[in-house]
Amino acid sequence: MALVKNPTRHMQYVLVAFFLISAGCGESPPADISAPPDPEFVGSNKCQSCHESQFRDWQTSHHQAAMQIATEDTVLGDFSNATFDYFSTRTEFLSIDGEYIVRTENASGELQDFEVTHTFGVEPLQQYLVEFPGGRKQALPFLWDTTPASEGGQRWFHLYPDEYIEPGDELHWTGPNFNWNFSCAECHSTDLRMGYDASSDTFETTWSEISVGCEACHGPGSKHVQQATGQKFDDLHGLVLSLDDQQDANWVMNVETGIAERSEMHGDPQQQPESCGRCHSRRSVVAPEYEYGKLLTQTHMPSLLDDGLYFADGQIQDEVYVYGSFLQSKMYRAGVTCSDCHNPHSGELLTGSDSNTVCAQCHLPSRFATTDHRGQSSGVADCVDCHMKARTYMGVDARRDHYFRVPSAADDRAITFAAARTGQVNDDLLKIFNNVENAGIVRASALTRFQQPLSSDATAALGTALNDPDPLVRIGALRALQQMPPEVRMIEGTRLLDDPVRSVRFEAARTYAELADLFEIHQARAFQRAADELRQTLAHNGSRAESHAALASFEMMLRNNTQAVRHYEDALLIDPDNAAFYHLLGLAFVRTGNGENALQSLQKAMELDTNTARYAYVFGVALNSLGRTEVALTELANSRQQFPDDFDIGWALATMLRDAGNIESALQVALEMQSDFPDDENIRALLASLQQRPTAAAE
């Protein structure tokens, strides 16, 4: 995919040249003048001669070892005929003629030898990559614990030790979820180009540097090297961004509070969290190419504080990494940045292995390293044990929360977010949103938990949120609007189709797709631009079935039903046993008027997933709508036995029996439903109408 690397910068050059010519400043340039070329990646070794200490730190870092060619020096696991039993399958780790071989279960359940080509990570675990056809690299599910044997390490372990992941399972290592090209590569190499070709379903993935090098953070360095050679620097020293968040500010201790304060604050988000967040966040990609120096939301969609990812009080639950936690913290609001605690080149703490000394930079030990602060019987030796609780991921990898607060399920926010899972608590959510002391990611997450009906205050809050300077808040408002009726959505949010931040435009396109027919001309043009961006992003991620399904869903909202069918079929080519995709394909066929194909797809969904009542209900209704009432009644009667508490199945069966003239059976189903749903007005009305009709026995 050919893209201008930095179109904004290119346009700046063009506009400046135009201004100078128009103003008569100097001679007109030759007709063939072109903008300066974009800087290129030159490799970390170019940095060594001038930045010796930083280069030395980087060489010992996890970044430098993020991905390496498998050699005797880089492979840490035991490949000396070691074995590992995973349920009934034995895996062997062998070294044959200098190659590292893993003999394990393939996609068909047969033992096969796979050659390890690359190591992945270094501490506290190391993964291994093998080559697959089509340019794919897959990560093996057997990992080497690199911690000392005295701590339980130096052993092989499986990512899913308590559950047998069989071939064909979506979590089997041969499938898309363990595909390096899409899932892992961007954050373990420098200047990575995924290179996926949908027509051949192949990857031609490239990088400028195999691991996370200097330019992964600082951006392409050719211009910087050129200026260093000439010893004449511009304001950015030839780099595409500045990571100097401190600038002229200092940390000044407030002796009254015992906490240091930043001497000078800057209005814009600090660059280090935005840059580090590219990889140290739970996020999805919304742009085919990363843009250095821009907001993370310009190229990625960070996750909000969704249930299942974070606990109700904001603590980490699933693998969310650091960005979302740090944004919630008082540290972030006070101006703390990544390098205030971490050496950015080695990745280690600034003050060494003692984490307390890092905290002591800004928190007086005489005030906080006391029993009065920690509690007499807490037994806590380190600040992080209370303020940065750790959770273990990938079996052995303990990661600390960067919210920097003592967790509590009893605070107001935790109570409100927990309550929102089961009921409407809009008034309490509104208080969280209106409190500007709360981080943007918190306020955005509160909005997404709004439930209908909305009060006038809640509706006004959405209008305010759509104008918020924080892109995450605008995204949260759009997601809240997606659950609202059209008259609420159309208030003023359509202007976000032209938002300067791509992820906001991405969300706006999804929010307004089904209302596109209501747009005025200028709105329609903005929507088309945002829709094209969304399609471009999802097509870029076309190796994933869910990307095709998302495209199909988007086209369905636009009533482009034929395109939706094609995208669902593409999704099923990648994930052929996905019941949800078959169900959605069936609904798309219904929209196109293809009843037979619709029935086949809906039936396939029901057969693949026998535990989802919705699939059985829709299949029964579809049968009836195509005139196959007897078959529909049989299917729904069977489904009611399996799902006796499902309202929709019971209602469909009762009304179809009524319409078929079988009043006695319809009455029986309705009476059973009344027992399960005694307060439902619709069931009462149905019963009343049935009881007024003569049954077959009465006739």
Express each pLDDT in 290-330 by its tens digit: 999 999 999 999 999 999 999 999 999 999 999 999 999 99
- What pLDDT is stored for residue 34 in this prediction? 58
Q: Which residues contact 255 (CB under 8 A, 6 or more apart)?
A: 364
Q: Which residues contact 63 (CB under 8 A, 6 or more apart)?
A: 211, 212, 213, 216, 347
Question: Both tokens of residue 57?
Answer: 């730190």
> 303: which DSSP letter?
-
pLDDT band at 378 (very low <50, low <70, confident <90, very high): low
Decide if pLDDT at 406 tops 90: no
- What pLDDT is stored for residue 699 in this prediction? 46
HEC per residue, 634-675: HHHHHHHHHCCCCHHHHHHHHHHHHHCCCHHHHHHHHHHHHH
Neighbours of 603 (CB within 10 A): 18
Express each pLDDT in 145-190 by its tens digit: 999 999 999 999 999 999 999 998 989 999 999 999 999 999 999 9
pLDDT band at 247 (very low <50, low <70, confident <90, very high): confident
Express each pLDDT in 68-124 by its tens digit: 999 999 999 999 999 999 999 999 999 999 999 999 999 999 999 999 999 999 999
pLDDT band at 379 (very low <50, low <70, confident <90, very high): low
Helix axes 502-512, 545-557, angle to 10 degrees: 50
- What pLDDT is stored for residue 36 in this prediction? 72
Decide if pLDDT at 31 tops 60: no
Question: Both tokens of residue 552?
Answer: 């199909």
Q: How far apart are CA 340 and CA 331, in angstroms?
A: 10
Enter the pTM of the model. Answer: 0.89
Instruction: Give the three-state DSSP class for 429.
Output: helix
> 83: which DSSP letter?
E
Instruction: Give the three-state DSSP class for 340.
Output: helix
Q: How far apart are CA 151 and CA 416, in angstroms?
A: 40
pLDDT band at 405 (very low <50, low <70, confident <90, very high): confident
SS3 content of the chain, % helix, strand, coil (to 5): 45, 15, 40
- φ, ψ of residue 637 to 5 degrees: the values are -65, -40
Decide if pLDDT at 16 tops 80: no
Question: Both tokens of residue 524?
Answer: 């329609």
Number of helical H runs and strand E runs in the chain? 29, 17
- What pLDDT is stored for residue 6 in this prediction? 38
- What pLDDT is stored for residue 377 in this prediction? 53
Q: Are 480 and 448 in contact (CB under 8 A)?
A: yes
Residue 325 vs residues 332, 399, 558: alpha-carbon distances, Å: 10, 12, 36
pLDDT band at 266 (very low <50, low <70, confident <90, very high): confident
More confident residue, 14 or 135: 135
Decide if pLDDT at 22 tops 60: no
> 435: which DSSP letter?
-
Task: Write down the residue that tokens 């199945």 correspond to.
Answer: 649
Express each pLDDT in 633-646 by its tens digit: 999 999 999 999 99
Q: Are 221 and 47 in contact (CB under 8 A)?
A: yes
- What pLDDT is stored for residue 179 in this prediction? 96
Express each pLDDT in 536-549 by its tens digit: 999 999 999 999 99
Instruction: Give the three-state DSSP class for 459.
Output: helix
pLDDT band at 3 (very low <50, low <70, confident <90, very high): very low
Q: How far apart are CA 470 and CA 466, in angstroms?
A: 10
- What pLDDT is stored for residue 491 in this prediction? 74
Q: Is the dihedral of CA 481, 484, 488, 490 positive or negative?
A: positive
Q: Which residues contact 551 (CB under 8 A, 6 or more apart)?
A: 535, 538, 539, 563, 567
Q: Are 138 and 127 in contact (CB under 8 A)?
A: no
Q: Are 653 and 665 in contact (CB under 8 A)?
A: no
Q: Are 228 and 220 in contact (CB under 8 A)?
A: no
- φ, ψ of residue 518 to 5 degrees: the values are -90, 0
- Mean pLDDT rounded to a whole number for the chain: 90
- What pLDDT is stored for residue 493 in this prediction? 85
Q: Are 667 and 689 in contact (CB under 8 A)?
A: no
DSSP H or E segment with residue 126: strand 125-132
Q: How far apart are CA 350 and CA 369, in angstroms?
A: 19
Decide if pLDDT at 19 tops 50: no
Q: Which of 35-49, 83-97, 210-224 has the lowest mean pLDDT?
A: 35-49
Average pLDDT for 611-625? 96
Among left, alpha and beta (phi > 0; psi -120 to 50; other), residue 632 is: alpha
Express each pLDDT in 533-590 by its tens digit: 999 999 999 999 999 999 999 999 999 999 999 999 999 999 999 999 999 999 999 9
More confident residue, 245 or 2: 245
Buried b (16+ CB within 10 A) or exposed e, 536-549: ebbbbbbbbbbbbb
- What pLDDT is stored for residue 647 in this prediction? 95
Beta bridge partners of 84: 91
- What pLDDT is stored for residue 380 in this prediction? 61
pLDDT band at 231 (very low <50, low <70, confident <90, very high): confident
- What pLDDT is stored for residue 695 in this prediction? 59
HEC per residue, 584-609: HHHHHHHHHCCHHHHHHHHHHHHHHC
